[in-house]
Copies of this chain bind each other. A is one copy, B any other.
Amino acid sequence: MTDFFPLRELTFQLHEVHGLGEVLKLPRYAMHDRDTCDAILDAAHMLALEEFLPHAAISDAQEPHFDGTKVHLPKEVKPAIDAFLAGGFLKAAFDEEVGGLQLPQMVYSSMAALFTAANIGTMGYLFLTVAAANLLRAHGNEAQQKKYLLPMLEGRFFGTMCLSEPQAGSSLADIKTKAVPRADGRFDITGNKMWISGGEHDLSENIVQLVLAKIEGAPAGVKGISLFIVPKRTVNDDGSLGGKNGIRLIGLNHKMGYRGTTNTALAFGDGEACIGELIGEPHKGLSYMFHMMNEARIAVGAGAAALAMAGYRYALGYTQQRPQGRALSNKDPSSPPVNISEHPDVRRMLLAQKSYVEGALSLCLYCARLVDEEISNPDASVKTESHALLDLLTPIAKAWPSEWCLEANKLAIQCLGGYGYTRDYPVERLYRDNRLNPIHEGTNGIQGLDLLGRKVLGDGGKALKLLFVRMDATIAAAQGDAVLGEYATALKTAMGRIQTATLKLGGTAAQGQMDLAMANSSAYLELFGHTVIAWQWLTQALIAQAALPTASHSDQGFYKGKLSACRYFYRYELPKTATHADLLLQMDDTLLTVDVASL
């Protein structure tokens, strides 16, 4: 069987493309070297293959169920999680000070992608715990870190993020969960939360729910939101577990994918006391949450790429082994059939998948590097620039992979034909799983608004300029090359389209027509996304081209594959940016003027 996620891809991306070596020279990571990083990825790959992949279909078919008292999970989940914890993967990126391995984000993201590709259902619990722990590390006080963070990093407590409510999904301004101060400095929490992944299970001693709520008398809207630690069981000051806190499982949501991760509706303080601790200052909850949300959004993108990688690799192996049909020019029906990977249209689907998956992965690891630089580079100007670029790229790193890697999963099904459509093969499950990614952690529509409104127009195009400087450097390196020069020119053209569209949109907004400018933000996101991925492909192609002459035989194949996927992306995908740019320059008002009642 084809490897579900070849490590060669990760070593290429980390070491050859995104300069993990330079990151490892930063003081924060001085205790690690390439060997450590490769070893942890090796171990992750093996564990993902042996303990996560085998029960992915089981967790999908036997999704968690609630018998009214307890939530039941397939028996394979707990041992896999235990092995993950024992391997130290959960605390890989955390500070040594709190018991972490202090590995770069780039390594953590790569490792997480392996587990996601193998089994997102089981990995979900771990992702959420890491995200909640990250938040506590950044914003919890010392006592909170001791009481909650340390047991989370030991794997004794798991975590969740409780944002949405039944009446307020994307619109957090309208959440109703209330926090009433108690005499002891803590708060009584009441309200309902919706879509809470990992909100109930027996995988850990405790669940640390991080809950957005409004303190009585807080300002309306998002400026009145505070963040609370609301544990499933209270924790005494000495770290021992207290009684049950007033969180009730209303029920499990039954999704079309991600079925291995419990997804819950929770009632807080419904008839029993539910006590929470404030994190940081009152009314700043959303900014704390968003600090982590940016990383969560990049993780969504990387997760989408990982799910598509698993689908692509399966389809690749299948099409290379399944004989059917003959070349169109072969009129002899008694000749043996060829493998379906020989048919041009199947090749189109394979190249499309590869270009989406590995392009998306490259962008996400580029962002991971920016995170590392932002956190760890001693040079303040590098920190600032990394932060600005990361802010700009985050909506793209979330939305582009979740859109196009879903498309990749669709194509993986198509490569398998009728078999792909059955539950005996993994590709339909991966497609169902990936359908969530354009929705959660901010819908792709919201990413478009964020990109155009906040990240480009909102900062006067400063971050955009920084990005263009980096893209220009890549173009300069490729210009004049017999093969890559064509792509460099095309990339420059696409950048010009972004520039022209941005000026037009900015001018429209400046003339008081902000609603009109923003109405086509999804087209802007598409234009921008395809251009950024094209840049990532040119970066990869430059390295592949340079490495080819002296590469080993197997690496020659690897690099040729990179060049083929890059060529595919430039010939078949990047030209789509022309259509988006044309639309934006027309400043079309169809979406504003349509009478919805007539639809």
Interface residues of A (CB under 8 A from B): 164, 167-171, 173-174, 194-195, 220-223, 253-257, 316, 320, 324-329, 333-334, 337, 341-351, 354, 406, 410, 413-414, 417-424, 428, 431-432, 435-436, 438-440, 443-445, 448-449, 453, 514-515, 518-522, 557-558, 560-561, 564-565, 567-568, 571-572, 575-576, 578-579, 582-583, 586, 588, 590-592, 594-599
Contact = CB atoms under 8 A, between A and B. Distances in A.
Contacts of A438: 414
B590 A567 contact: yes
A577 to B, nearest CB: 9
B557 A571 contact: no
Given A256-B432, A328-B453, A329-B514, 6 more contacts: A164-B418, A341-B596, A344-B592, A345-B591, A561-B599, A572-B588
Nearest to A522: B345
A502 to B, nearest CB: 18
A582 B449 CA distance: 31
Given A174-B324, A345-B522, A515-B327, A594 B351 contact: yes
A595 B564 CA distance: 8
Contact of A169 (B354, B418, B449, B576): B418
Given A333-B221, A515-B329, A320 B453 contact: no
Contact of A333 (B194, B222, B344, B435): B222
A522 B348 contact: yes
A254 B164 CA distance: 34
Contacts of A325: 170-171, 173
A344 B583 contact: no
Contact of A439 (B420, B582, B591): B420
Contacts of A174: 324, 333, 337
Contacts of A576: 576, 579
Nearest to A347: B591
**Smallest CB-CB A-B distances: 3 pairs:** A221-B333, A345-B445, A344-B519
A342 B596 contact: yes
Q: Select the residue from A324, A327, A344 with max chain B CB neighbours within 10 A.
A: A344
A482 to B, nearest CB: 16
A410 B443 CA distance: 13
A596 B347 contact: yes
Contacts of A422: 253-256
Contacts of A592: 344
A164 to B, nearest CB: 7
Contacts of A164: 418
23 contacts: A170-B324, A173-B325, A174-B337, A195-B418, A220-B333, A256-B423, A320-B596, A329-B514, A344-B520, A345-B521, A345-B522, A350-B596, A350-B599, A351-B591, A410-B435, A413-B439, A414-B444, A431-B435, A560-B595, A561-B598, A564-B594, A568-B590, A575-B583
A316 B592 CA distance: 16
Given A423-B256, A598-B564, A591 B344 contact: yes
B173 A333 contact: yes
Nearest to A345: B445
B431 A334 contact: no
Contacts of A257: 421
A597 B560 CA distance: 10
Contact of A168 (B324, B406, B449, B565): B324
A438 B349 CA distance: 13
A351 B435 contact: no
A263 to B, nearest CB: 8
Contacts of A453: 328
Contacts of A316: 599
A421 B436 contact: yes
B557 A597 contact: yes
A567 B413 CA distance: 33
Nearest to A428: B256
Contact of A417 (B439, B522, B560): B439
Given A333-B220, A557-B595, A169 B575 contact: no
Contacts of A327: 515
Nearest to A425: B256
A428 B434 CA distance: 13
Contacts of A344: 515, 518-520, 591-592
A348 B333 CA distance: 48
Contact of A571 (B439, B571, B588): B588
A9 to B, nearest CB: 12
A357 to B, nearest CB: 11
Nearest to A596: B341
Contacts of A413: 435, 439
A413 B520 CA distance: 20
A515 B253 contact: no
Contacts of A253: 418, 422, 424
A345 B564 contact: no
A303 B254 CA distance: 27
A564 to B, nearest CB: 5
Contacts of A572: 583, 588, 590
A154 to B, nearest CB: 31
A533 B93 CA distance: 52
Nearest to A592: B344
